[in-house]
Structure 1
Amino acid sequence: MSRAFEVEKLGLVPYGPAWEYQKKVHAEVVAGRRKPTLLLLQHPRTITLGRAAKPENLLLSETQYRAQGIELFWVERGGDVTYHGPGQLVGYPIFPVGRQVRGFLRKLEAAIVQVAASYGIESFPTPGYAGVWVRKPAPVAGWPAVEEKLCAFGVAVRQDVALHGFALNVNTRLEDFNLIVPCGIRDKGVTSLQKILGREVSLDEVAERVEEALAQVFPAFAAKEVA
């Protein structure tokens, strides 16, 4: 399938080098030396804090995190605190978006909803909370259903081109989310494709489905945006 963007699959990459590479690709897209590019990768156990992050959403000290082999980074994306780790598919769509940041996020969410649907999972975005969620049946009859986040989002836009992106929990170690208040939200949970389906899911397969879904919601970019 001909796509409006290139795809690079980087494997498992420490957050620091991946962040630097992401900024290099971003500069090339801004300068018109490269097509819009989707980076797909995994990170070792890492916690990142966006522009809206509150220190109280870190439940341990930085020293305690590092003692457990978890790195911390304060970054320029939107949003609060989140976790990355093996088994999570991280996508950095370095796409020209102009000033349509909210519309860009809605398209990313729509693509992930489509990926979840391809596994028979009903998911949805929630106004006010960027992300894709699923509803878990209430533990007690008559109680409200529990919402759990399947995919987190956080982007930044510099010179009309986006960087950072999304983190889709595939076979992620969900216990590590207990070390933070994910996205600063205390009354919702976190889930993964593996937890919902009851089996390990191929990351390569999920990556292919993510590429296809993004190609559908981003069929082209305006010529002026990539000139």
Structure 2
Amino acid sequence: MKIIDLGLIGYKEAEALQLETLAAVTAGERENTVFLLEHPKVITLGRQGGAENLHMDPKLLAEHGIELAQTTRGGNITCHFPGQLVAYPIWRVEKRPGGMRRFFHDMEEAVIRTCARFGVATIRRPGHPGVWVDETRKICSMGIGVKRWVTYHGLALNVGRDLSLFNAITLCGIQGAVPTSIEGETGRDIDMKDVKNVFEEEFRKAFADSALA
């Protein structure tokens, strides 16, 4: 696999890069690729909708420099912002043991192990993809798209303390869910580069382990 750090990149620009890479991986011209990045402030809607869980007028969002984007990923509404680690695996799953269920499990496992290395214990919540600190506090959201058995989109792990953009939405459309982050849980500053490095290690290990299973 190839893991590429894109730094801070606009949502539309990253989406175009995903689609370009998706075509190359599907054609067998490129290996499985994972993009690590941060986005400027953007609220995204999933294939299952999400506009009903948006609490700010789109015009007001624009006035505050917040983009609103319709996506082709699964799931409901979520948001991205600097201080949140986004990972987009462009990954061939057609012949992978366990199919999509195992793919989600391994993404969650990489996040769970990453959080643990920073001192944050997390859980899975059945029926709700992503990673949680408890039944209400969500630290990582997940939503993917699939074309011809190759995935795109991915996950968003909250690292920094500033989670104020979530005030504009009902998190993932789940009543009672509240966002949390690695810094919020530990009470200390965390360098994003350190999180990226740890996540890369844990992602490689989780996916190597499942390949051997």
CA apart distance, 1:173: 2.1
- 1:182 matched to 2:171? The reply is yes
1:209 and 2:198 equivalent?
yes
List per-residue Cα deviations over 1:114-164 (Å, max 9, x = no partner): 1111112110111111110003xxxxxxxxxx6211010000111111000
The correspondence for 1:23, drawn from 19, 23, 26, is 19
Output aligned runs, 1:15-164, within 5 Å.
15-98=11-94, 100-135=99-134, 147-164=136-153
Which segments of structure 1 move beyond 2 Å, counting only runs of 4 or more? none
Distance of 1:220 and 1:127 partners within structure 2: 22
For 2:173 and 2:39, locate their aligned partners in 1 and report how far apart those are by CA, in whole Å: 21
Check whether the contact 1:88–1:172 (CA below 8 A) recurs between aligned residues: no
Change over 3 Å in CA distance of 1:60–1:180 after alignment to 2: same
For the 8 Å contact 1:124–1:133, the answer to whether it is kept is yes
1: CA distance between counterparts of 2:50 and 2:107?
25
TM-score, normalised to structure 2's length? Answer: 0.93
Q: What amino acid is aligned across from residue 158 of structure 2 in structure 1? A: N
Letter in 2 for 1:120: G
Structure 2: give runs of 5+ residues left out of the alignment: none
User: Which secondary structure state, in structure 2, belongs to the residue aligned with residue 53 of structure 1?
Assistant: coil
Q: Offset at 1:60?
A: 1.4
Change (3 A) 1:221 1:133: closer
- Where structure 1 has 5 or more consecutive residues not aligned to the other structure, the ranges are 136-145, 223-227
Amino acid at match of 1:165: G
Count of residue pairs the alignment pairs up: 208
Shift of 1:172: 5.2
Partner SS, residue 49 of structure 2: coil
What SS does the aligned partner of 2:208 have?
Answer: coil
> Aligned AA for 1:12?
L
Question: Percent of aligned positions with the same letter in both sequences?
Answer: 39
Question: For the aligned residues, what is the CA RMSD?
Answer: 1.5
Alignment-mate amino acid for residue 119 of structure 1: F
Structure number with greater Rg is 1
Q: One-letter code of the match for 1:69? A: G
